[in-house]
Amino acid sequence: MLLRPLSIGSCFLFAATVLLSCRPNGPAPHDGAPPSPAPTYDASADAVDAATTALLDAAAPEPVAGDPMANQKDTQDGLLSLFAIKPFTEEEKARIHPDLFLHRMFDVTGPSHANQGNKEIAQHKISKEQCLAGLKGITLQTPEQKEKCGGAENMVPVWQKGKDGKDAWFCVDIFEFPNKACELPMVWTQPPLAKKVCELQGKRLCSDIEWNMACRGDPAGGPDQRYAYGDKLDLEICHTNLRHRQPCVVQNSGTTWKTCTTDTEPSGAYPKCRSRFGVFDQHGNVAEVMMRREGDKIFTQLKGSAWFYVELAKEPKEPPFPTTTNKAGAYNDDCNFDPRWHVEELEKAMHVNYHLGFRCCKTIP
């Protein structure tokens, strides 16, 4: 989600301070109908009932459990285990010190490092196990796609309308960084550091044009779609229908870290939130920072929305939805939406946030 920031020294933070309650989950309340009468006990039916119960238990699928909060890494090593970098020669290591850079960049200790948010106040509701079960049977990447993308895992090629796979222009991560199925996305990442992480993986930060194409396009050459999943806004398909649970105080980076919850869900936890090219979560979960060329300079470009988009949801050229609580900040979240917010020269950009992540792309030779 994208909001206008407060300037706090060299750090910029979104002003999202409204206290909102979560939508209740679980079964609907009792409707007042009288309860059914208790069944009469029949001892002669015990053997049949036991056999039927055993048969049903054997046919029932294994329950999917798992602790949603266990999926958030609470150590630096845990964060660094989520991704790998390309091989470097000893000369290259001595020159760029990739390990030192990564250990300085990723940590769970606060907003000056890239991480998955403040675990002490976060709430995740979907476990890694539940997410993996939801993706069962879905092909994330074919062998042909992997080969086209130079052997990179979890990337798919994208091409312009009217072309075909042979004319693919670039490859894009199918998940938000760290680009792992059913892991939580990273936030609090300064744009130039995100660019560096992509480069250490043999990739680069995506451009806004590439992101748009991967979102709206059809690999079969059909018409573009307004959203990755279709032409009509649906807040249930992606992780976009959650509200802030508590006041988010953006007085400075310290108060933001202590009060602004990063209530993400695992990447791919919403299987239908997928573009026709196979890219997940381009709406909701976390917003993403891209790069945009303007003349001979490269600027930052923010794309997508976060889990609390319901607060600002609107269709293009339509007034805000009735559910919107901050009507002045409402905006549409379609694939082509390119807001000019937090525009900075990429190499000097310092805008970070508790709900802002990124994903990487790769040029096809």
The C-alpha angle 252, 255, 256, rounded to 5 degrees, equals 80
**pLDDT tens digits for range 138-186:** 999 999 999 999 999 999 999 998 888 889 999 999 999 999 999 999 9
Q: In this model, does residue 44 exceed pLDDT 50? A: no
Altogether, the residues listed in the chain come to a count of: 365
* DSSP structure class, residue 274: B
Q: With bands split at pLDDT 50, 70 and 90, how would you rate the model's confidence at 321? A: low
Token pair belonging to 82:
């989520």
Q: In this model, does residue 47 exceed pLDDT 60? A: no
**pLDDT tens digits for range 234-287:** 999 999 999 999 999 988 889 999 999 999 999 999 999 999 999 999 999 999
The span from the CA of 186 to the CA of 357, in Å, is 6
Helix (H) or strand (E) holding 255: helix 253-259
Q: With bands split at pLDDT 50, 70 and 90, how would you rate the model's confidence at 21? A: very low
The span from the CA of 301 to the CA of 289, in Å, is 6
The span from the CA of 144 to the CA of 161, in Å, is 20
The span from the CA of 207 to the CA of 302, in Å, is 10
Collapse the DSSP code of 297 into the 3-class scheme (helix H, G, I; strand E, B; otherwise coil) and give the result. Answer: strand
Considering the chain, what is the average pLDDT of its residues?
Answer: 85
**pLDDT tens digits for range 66-75:** 999 999 999 9
**pLDDT tens digits for range 200-211:** 999 999 999 999
The span from the CA of 266 to the CA of 245, in Å, is 19
pLDDT for 325: 55
The more confidently predicted of residues 194 and 1 is: 194
The span from the CA of 264 to the CA of 221, in Å, is 33
- 183: nearest Cα among 240, 128, 146: 128
| Percentage with pLDDT > 90 across the chain | 72
pLDDT for 165: 83
pLDDT for 61: 55
- 246: nearest Cα among 121, 130, 151, 357: 121
pTM, entire model: 0.82
* DSSP structure class, residue 81: T
pLDDT for 37: 36
User: Which residues are CB-neighbours of 283 under 8 A, at least 6 positions away?
Assistant: 227, 228, 229, 237, 238, 240, 273, 304, 305, 309, 333
Beta bridge partners, 23, equal none
pLDDT for 286: 98
pLDDT for 166: 84
**pLDDT tens digits for range 97-153:** 999 999 999 999 999 999 999 999 999 999 999 999 999 999 999 999 999 999 999
pLDDT for 329: 72
Collapse the DSSP code of 143 into the 3-class scheme (helix H, G, I; strand E, B; otherwise coil) and give the result. Answer: helix
| Average pLDDT score over residue span 29-39 | 34
Q: With bands split at pLDDT 50, 70 and 90, how would you rate the model's confidence at 81? A: very high
